Amino acid sequence: MRELPVELYRAAQVRELDRITIEERGIPGHTLMSRAGEAAFELLRQRWPDARRIVVVCGSGNNAGDGYVVARLAHKAGLDIRVLTLSNPDELRGDALTAWRDACAAGVPTTIFATAGLDGADLLVDAILGIGLERDVSGVWREAIETMNAHPADRFALDIPSGLHADTGAILGAAVQAAATLTFIGLKQGLFTGQGPACCGDIHFADLDAPPDIYPALHPACWRYAGEDLPVLLPRRSRSAHKGHFGHVLVIGGESGMAGAARLAAEAAARCGAGLVSVATRAVHAGLQAAVRPELMFHGIETPDELEPLLNRATVIAVGPGLGRGDWGRAMLQAALAGDQPLVLDADALNLLAIEPVFRDNWILTPHSGEAARLLKMTPAQVEADRFAAVEDLALRFGGVALLKGAGSLIASKADGLVALCAAGNPGMASGGMGDVLTGVIAALVAQGLPPFAAAKAGGYLHGRAGDLAARAGGERGLLATDLLPFLRQLANPN
């Protein structure tokens, strides 16, 4: 086992890596299956050292073969092991059939799946369905998954939690809720977004000693981004720097009753290094907000004409936090769109864009699944069914860069044709104002000269990582958007 790579693949690509390893590098499939089982058993002993009664639930393919190897090794180690199978093992083929026969020869008991077979188990090993699943799980297969999920013991998934789509991270009918998943050869992109993180638990990786030179043959579908290049993107500042070197962010938002959203975005922009930050908001809010955070420049703006001088001075414009969908919000958005500065759009700016679509190359859109659904004329469930397709479609339809928020936020660039996945964030960030903070973070990075795709992926990571640090300090429940601000300042200074 090794640290998680950054490359993510689709199921078809992982099968191609398998094929190259077996057919072109001459490593037998049975050898790879044996290595997978050995790696899984090693992790099992490390993660659950006190587990004595282990039940392996096997399906009908190569994933079952991995399970039979684990069962054989557990039996050899003196553990109380049993295998419950959802199909007739005689119908297994190839390496999986060999693995079953080896397990039987070693004395591993194998019986047809029944709920009673799980009684007394300390650990359940999921070896039911692999990465080839394309339709909803049903019948005895779904019953087995739901029964396993209801059991008090932890579940350990081999390669992928059964029922999870390897490419999209969507649950197909039902999926095993694992405490840990050990995946093989290549990381499957669906493990890291959508329902993947909830199903997988802790993700571990074993390359099975596949030759390193097999990987350059395939272009990854996506990359996990964990801020590796932040020291380069945000270098130590020159000792002679002044505020004019780091851009001027203009935040437009804060309709009546929603002043806090614009302020959150503006303060996040300031904490992430923007040289100047102005806020165009309703006049009723401007004076009070300036008193609370005097470093920010609040302007009471009621008409597009009043907004024009601020637009002319801005390096980047962030539109949407608390903008509203009324006449004022529409007028402010149209004024911002009339210029040629880079834009970051969120919240109601996206909802208004869905009504009157516009295409531009120099903006960053940051929708959650509901806003993405409105932009793409579909339902949120359809967006979540394939988040990768949704984020790429957003970038193609609207131009620039799209950041689809959620578990495993995705960033796609029309110009570069690239997709990145943010390797940070936690459920505590499911609270009001978090998206406003993200808008400000990204705008600050654009103001400091980062290209849109780099600003979006780095901003998404800074935001998620700040949320992780804030949650570590006080817990996920009750996490507020303002709790991220001190951590953002630390993270924005990586050198």
Domain assignment present for 103: yes
The answer to whether residues 302 and 411 belong to one domain is: yes
The answer to whether residues 257 and 216 belong to one domain is: no
Domain assignment present for 395: yes
Instruction: Note the pTM of the prediction, 2 decimals.
Output: 0.95
Percent of the chain with pLDDT over 70: 99
pLDDT at 286: 83
The answer to whether residues 241 and 211 belong to one domain is: no
Stretch among 54-63, 287-296, 343-352, 476-485 having the lowest mean pLDDT? 287-296
- Are the C-beta atoms of residues 417 and 290 closer than 8 Å to each other? no
Domain assignment present for 105: yes
Q: Which residues pair with 299 in a beta bridge?
A: 280
- The pLDDT of 350-356, averaged and rounded, is 98
Percent of the chain with pLDDT over 90: 94
Tell me the pLDDT tens digit for each residue of 292-314.
788 999 999 999 999 999 999 99
The answer to whether residues 110 and 14 belong to one domain is: yes
The CA–CA distances, whole Å, from 381 to 191, 288, 371, 387, 430 equal 18, 40, 12, 10, 18
Q: How far apart are the first and last CA of the chain?
A: 31
Tell me the pLDDT tens digit for each residue of 107-166.
999 999 999 999 999 999 999 999 999 999 999 999 999 999 999 999 999 999 999 999
Domain assignment present for 251: yes
Domains in the chain: how many in total? 2
Tell me the pLDDT tens digit for each residue of 427-441.
999 999 999 999 999
When computed from its CA atoms, the radius of gyration of the chain, rounded to whole angstroms, is 26
The answer to whether residues 191 and 160 belong to one domain is: yes
Tell me the pLDDT tens digit for each residue of 370-408.
999 999 999 999 999 999 999 999 999 999 999 999 999
* Residue 49 CB-density burial (10 A; 0-12 exposed, 13-18 middle, 19+ buried): exposed
pLDDT at 257: 85
pLDDT at 91: 87
- The pLDDT of 89-107, averaged and rounded, is 94
CB neighbour list of residue 101: distance below 8 Å, 6 or more residues apart: none
The answer to whether residues 201 and 303 belong to one domain is: no
pLDDT of 2 > 70? The answer is: no
pLDDT band at 261 (very low <50, low <70, confident <90, very high): very high
- 212's tokens: 């390193």
Residue that terminates a domain, selected from 160, 190, 220 = 220
CB count in 10 Å sphere of residue 372? 27
The answer to whether residues 270 and 178 belong to one domain is: no
The answer to whether residues 400 and 463 belong to one domain is: yes
pLDDT at 268: 98
Residue 31's SS3 state is helix
The answer to whether residues 207 and 247 belong to one domain is: no
Residue that terminates a domain, selected from 187, 220, 253 = 220
The answer to whether residues 132 and 236 belong to one domain is: no
Domain assignment present for 215: yes
The answer to whether residues 289 and 340 belong to one domain is: yes
Domain assignment present for 225: no
- Write out the DSSP string of 339-385: S-S-EEE-THHHHHHHHS----SSEEE---HHHHHHHHTS-HHHHHH
pLDDT of 342 > 80? The answer is: yes
pLDDT at 273: 97
Domain assignment present for 1: no
Mean pLDDT for all residues in the chain: 96
Range of the domain at 138: 7-220
- The pLDDT of 219-224, averaged and rounded, is 96
The answer to whether residues 202 and 272 belong to one domain is: no
Residue that terminates a domain, selected from 168, 197, 220 = 220
CATH number of the structural domain spanning residue 104: 3.40.50.10260
Name which of 411, 408, 490, 418 is nearest 457 in CA terms.
411
